[in-house]
Every structure is written in structure tokens, then in C-alpha cells.
Amino acid sequence: MFSYKITRRQFLKWLSASAVALGLSQTDILKMEKRLEAAITDCDPDFPSSLARVIWITGQDCGGCATTILNYLADPADPDPVLNVIAKNKVLKLLDIEAVTTAPGQGADGNIDIAEVVLEIVTIDWGYIVMAASGDVANQHLATLREHGGYVLMIDGAIPINASGKYCQVFSIPGDWSGGIWDSYITVQDPDPTGVALKRTDFTMAGAALWLATNAAAVVCLGTCASWGGIPAAKGSVTGAKSGWEWINKINGMKKVIANIPGCPPHPDWFIHTVGAYILGLLNLDTDLDYKGRPRNTSTAIYSDQFFCRDCTRRDMGMPTTIRGCQKNATNPKGKCLAKVGCNGKNVGSAFLRADCPTRKWNNHTNWCVGNNMPCQGCTDPGFPDRTSPFYKLLKNT
């Protein structure tokens, strides 16, 4: 086993490419380079000096989880204390850490987007969804990060394990990386057994999850697929898709601290809130996760200790048996309860664990599924989608 180190020049070049992918401004790029330049010379083991270092891998999914996170936009008027602190850019101040110069239009005025979070609060050290870089330079850097350990491994998407995991290949790294419980889920290529050509290792998602979880301080499963298996693990699945907890702890016995943030997709605030609470010392991953690994009072149920339906504006407005009868219109401005036409709001979780969609809403507090005449599919529920299926039934004579 051996590791690669990349030069500072290579890494900054890679960062600049990542920054472009994130839509960062030139000022952001300079800020990122300045901050990291001070921290990463010759790949110092402690680099980067961020508050939370994240390696992000993606398995079997639809891409919705990445989309939701990358659309995060903080609201400085958010009454939730953690989100409010993040929106007002006070995290570093609270932790007594010197903040880097804030770019015009960001930070102080509360206009924080995902780029600001990446710069100021977490460092996504490796994540192929947000990297413009690809190939050996980026993946050798991943191997170096793994050797240093102590990062948070973020998983979105389910982990297919049938066919030795080959339904989902995630990356390839020069060298022979065999030698652990991941061996059945990687392929070591040896193109020239008698010569000097380097071997390389192809990782499936199943192999990568085990390889990276080994040195991780904690694992965060983002979305219902990573948390419970979700749609890839639904009845009829041929891939053998598993959740992060099933694969890492139950099947492979790794006993890792695993936090689940379900939702298909999860609201970006649930993720940012969980990360923020952890950084601020308000969330102890050893004691504040429920029996299914959900952070209490953080990822969901930020506001309410009651049931999901309590906050639904359609509650108490009557319960017609047709979709048409439930719809919002001039005579029913709030719409009517969708329970008789398949709404699964009652399944989204018990007290302190339920999604807060009715009050938080989506797309920067604009609307939510039920508000748009769509019965809730219970996407945060561990039984989703089988327990809440079928989503639609053909009506007779239509």
C-alpha cells in the first residue's frame, strides 16, 4: 500500500476548477486559494483548516440530493437559532475563529448560498458532483485524505451490493488498494504483470463506502436512499441496494457513528442545520441520534413536537374523496385534506422526527408538495416507497 501526494500548484488548480463548478466568483476563488494556501502547503496532515472536512460519495440515486443541497440559500430571518447563526455568518465568530474577508454581497448581509457554506463552514475536500476536476489527480488526493483520516464521509444514494457491487462504479485510483473488508467490491487491474506499469484499483460504491468509512470520524447519510435504501431498494430491485447503515454497520460490523438525514430529497436546511449544530457543539453524534440515526431536533422537526398534519393548512377543511374536490381554487383557497386520495402525511415521522415541510416549505420557503395539490408521499419515512405505494392509481372510466 502506498499513497500519493499532490503539489500545492496541482491542488490549487484543482480547487479553481471546483470553484467554477460551484459558480463561485473570482473573489471567492481568490479567497479560497488564499485560505487553503496557508493551510495545505505540501499537504499538511491537518489541512485544510476547515471546521468540517467532508468526503462526499454518491451511489445509486436520481441526483436530487445533490441538487437540493447545491440550491441552499440561507434566510437571515429564519427563527431557528442554528440556521439564523449561519445565515448571519456568525459561526466563525462564535467559535472564536478568524473569518476570512467576506466577498461583497455575501456573509454580512445574510446572503449566504452553498458556495459560502463550502468556503466558510465546511470543506468538501473531495466530491465528484461538485468537482470540475476528475481522474488521477483528484483521486490521488482522495487517497491522501483517506490516509490522514478524521473526515466526515457523506453518502448520498443507496449502495448496491449484488454482483459484487458492480451496478455502481465510482472511481479508479492508481495503485493496489486491496487489503481490507472492501476487497470483494474492488477490482485491481494489473495491465503488465511482468513490467513496470502501475496497477490501479477500480472501486464500486460498495467498496468505496467501506474503504472510506474505515478512516472516517463519522458518516452522514444524506437522503432517503442513503438513510433507508429508498427507491433503489424498493420491491423488485435487482441491485441489492442497501442503506449506509445496513452496509457499513449491520452487514460489515464497522460500528461507525452514522447520522441519517432522510427525505427524497431532503430539504437543504435539514442538512445545513445538522452540520451547523454539530460544528457549534449543539449536536453530539454519540448521544443525540435517535434509534434510527436521525439527529434529534435537528434534521427534522426543527419547529414542532407534534405530527406533520398539525401544521398543514388543509387540516380541518374537509376530506373529499376526489383529487378535484381537494384542489385549491377560488372557493377553497386553502384546499381540502388529501388523506382520502392517498396523502401519506401521517407516515412522515413521529414527534421530534418529522419533516417540517408544512412550515418550512421548499424553494426558499415558496411552497411544498401538499400546497401544490400533491398528496404527500411520505418520502422521509423508512418504509418509503413501498409502504406509501402506489403513488397513483388509474381511476375507473378515465
Q: Which residues contribute to the site for ligand FSX (CB under 6 A)?
A: 61-65, 156-157, 223-225, 230-231, 264-265
The residue type found at 138 is A
Do residues 208 and 170 lie in contact, with contact meaning Cβ atoms separated by under 8 Å?
yes
Q: In the complex with ligand FSX, which residue's Cβ is closer, 230 or 345?
A: 230
Which is closer to ligand FSX, CB of 65 or CB of 216? 65
Instruction: Provide, rounded to whole angstroms, the least separation between the CB of residue 226 and ligand FSX.
Output: 6
Nearest residue relative to ligand FSX (C-beta): 64
* DSSP label of 368: -
Whether 259 contacts 285, CB under 8 Å:
yes
Q: Which is nearer to ligand FSX, 63 or 179 (CB)?
A: 63
The residue behind cell 385549491 is 328
Nearer to ligand FSX, 146 or 267 (CB): 267
Q: Which is nearer to ligand FSX, 62 or 92 (CB)?
A: 62
Please state, in angstroms and rounded to a whole number, the distance separating the CA atoms of residues 18 and 134.
10
Looking at the Cβ atoms of 107 and 223, the one nearer to ligand FSX is 223
Placement of cell 468538501 in the chain = 124
Residue 362 sits at φ, ψ, to 5 deg, of -115, 175
Q: What sign does the dihedral 221-227-231-236 (CA atoms) show?
A: positive
Residues in the chain: 398
Q: Would you say 64 or 160 has its CB closer to ligand FSX?
A: 64
Q: How far apart are CA 125 and CA 154, in angstroms?
A: 11
Q: How far is the CB of 269 from ligand FSX (least distance, A)?
A: 15
CA 249 to CA 231: how far, in whole Å? 21
Closest distance of CB 158 from ligand FSX, Å: 7
Nearer to ligand FSX, 43 or 155 (CB): 155
Task: Report d(CA 123, CA 339) in Å as an integer.
Answer: 42
Gap between the Cα atoms of 322 and 338, Å rounded: 9
Least distance CB 224 / ligand FSX (angstroms): 4
Taking the complex as a whole, the smallest distance from the CB of residue 341 to ligand FSX amounts, in Å, to 23
CB atoms under 10 Å from CB of 150, counted, come to 12
| Helices 136-148, 8-22: crossing angle, 10 deg rounding | 110
Q: Closest separation between CB of residue 243 and ligand FSX, Å?
A: 10
Q: How far is the CB of 131 from ligand FSX (least distance, A)?
A: 16
With beta carbons less than 8 A apart as the criterion, state whether 361 and 303 touch.
Answer: no
Shortest distance, CB of residue 267 to ligand FSX, whole angstroms?
Answer: 11
